[in-house]
Amino acid sequence: MRHWDAVLPGRVLRVLHEEVVEDLEGSVRRLLAFCGLEFQPQCVAFHENRRSVRTASSEQVRQAIYRDGLEQWKHFEPCSGSSGTRSAMR
């Protein structure tokens, strides 16, 4: 991320999955504001949309964001050589 911060200062928004899960509406509002767009309630109720979806993740689109996967990375920590901190992304 340091590279992109240097090459495109102020033009790359960091969005951390954990923060989105903890505060979906706040994260969506921050993303939309960064893009110069207005918030609409449908942005956080995406899973209630009944339009057809033709992607590999079509079933996931119909689910609200959930916390279940937040700790899944810990299963792979011994193999990754990572301490699990976000410092590597900064």
**What is this structure's pTM?**
0.69
Q: What per-residue string of b and e applies to 8-43 under the rule 16 or more CB within 10 Å gives b?
A: eeeeeeeeeeeebeeebeebbbbeeeeeeeeeeeee
Backbone dihedral region for residue 63 (phi beyond 0: left; psi -120 to 50: alpha; all else: beta): beta
**Per-residue model confidence (pLDDT) at position 83:** 57
Q: What are the tens digits of pLDDT across the range 37-51?
A: 999 999 998 878 778
User: What pLDDT is attached to residue 33?
Assistant: 97
Mean pLDDT by 10 residues, the chain (90 residues): 92 93 95 97 86 75 75 80 54
